[in-house]
Structure 1
Amino acid sequence: MSSSSSQEVQKEIVVRKKALLVAVTDGSIIPIEEVPDLVFSEKMIGEGFAMIPTSDVVYAPIGGKLFQVADALHAFEIRTEDGLEVLVHVGLDTVTLNGAGFKTNLKKGMVVKQGEPLVEFDKEYLISRGCRLFIPVVVINGGNENYRYVFKPNNEVEAQAKKTIALTIEGY
């Protein structure tokens, strides 16, 4: 018997984590590259997707702890137990409204479940103030080359009726 066959060969088992981000509102799921804001479309803060809303409620794309709730109530950052960090940004240019047109009871440090409401917004008010109705959802700590993203565009999503997967993240 050769020495190589008598030695135990150990195989490394690679565990790849997987996360599913679901639609955050009713409407259309679009590629992040189509958001008319370079910070999002050029993926300066991370990979993701966006939605064009037809309703006025935004839901959590994934469960976790809110590690940031913007004072203007337009942006929420969720950190999962696995350490994935996801930004949900409601509208473009909405920070200038200082919270007007938004309603939420959520605060930094609270835990949310996937599909739980994050915020309600007044679409007509936002439009009347020149805000653009896109909702980018971005993995803000997903720059690792081992991450793999699978985007699933969809033109008619009902977020509350079913949890439609918009983006799968593997390997984080």
Structure 2
Amino acid sequence: MFKSLFKKENKSITITAPFNGKAVSIEEVPDQVFSEKMMGDGMAIIPSDGSLVSPIDGEVVDVFPTKHAITLRSKEGAEILIHMGLETVNLKGEGFDIGITGGDKIRKGDSLAKFDIEKVKELGYQVITPIVLLNGDDFDIQQRMSNEKTVNHKDVIMEIRKKA
């Protein structure tokens, strides 16, 4: 009877949509690094607008100098990479306006960046945005959304659980 009182509950971490758009499987990302899960498992969103909001409560780990990617850590320790577009490192920050820096505390729905998806498309790059669990040795993805429209900060796109 008392065991259940002291048992540590392994609650799932909900990852909400960082963009309005369409959720797709990571295998559909037309880049081998992501589709073959070389960086980790996850999913992707094809954004319909460029307002990136935080999908978790936690902190900003890193903003890439080229502004195309952001790494976040949930308060539970799950590390999430949001990679805006494919090969967008080549843009050297053009089309990205970042509103956060490493070490910033964040809450779900906080504005992180503006991603000029029209400009990025005009420059010949794809805007599909992989969202990758970087520390998959410590966490498992339990569920993920696919082939559905997403509303930023409203829809849960992934549920992650710490491995026992």
TM-score in terms of structure 2 length:
0.89
Aligned residue-pair number: 161
Q: Does 1:128 align with 2:128?
A: no
Indicate the percent of aligned positions where both proteins have the same amino acid: 33
* 1:150 Cα deviation after fit: 0.7
CA RMSD in angstroms comes to: 2.0
Q: Does 1:155 align with 2:156?
A: no
* 1:42 Cα deviation after fit: 0.8
Distance in 2, Cα, partners of 1:28 & 1:154:
6
After alignment, is 84-93 or 115-124 more displaced?
115-124
Aligned pairs for 1:84-99 (under 5 A) are 84-99=78-93
* 1:37 Cα deviation after fit: 0.8
After alignment, is 66-75 or 146-155 more displaced?
146-155
- 1:37 aligned partner: 31
State the structure with more CA Rg: 1
Partner of residue 162 from structure 2, selected from 159, 166, 171? 171
Report the CA distance shift for 1:81/1:96 in structure 2 as closer, same or farther (over 3 A).
same
- 1:106 aligned partner: 100
* 1:115 Cα deviation after fit: 1.5
* 1:148 Cα deviation after fit: 4.3
Q: Does 1:53 align with 2:47?
A: yes
* 1:84 Cα deviation after fit: 1.0
Partner of residue 20 from structure 1, selected from 1, 7, 14? 14
Distance in 2, Cα, partners of 1:147 & 1:16:
12
Contiguous gaps of at least 5 residues in structure 2: none
Residue deviations 1:73-115 (CA, integer Å, cap 9, x gap): 1111111222111111100011111111111221111111111
The one-letter code matched in structure 1 to 2:157 is A
TM-score in terms of structure 1 length:
0.85
Distance in 2, Cα, partners of 1:148 & 1:155:
18
Distance in 1, Cα, partners of 2:140 & 2:91:
35
Contiguous gaps of at least 5 residues in structure 1: 1-9
- 2:61 aligned partner: 67
The one-letter code matched in structure 1 to 2:39 is I
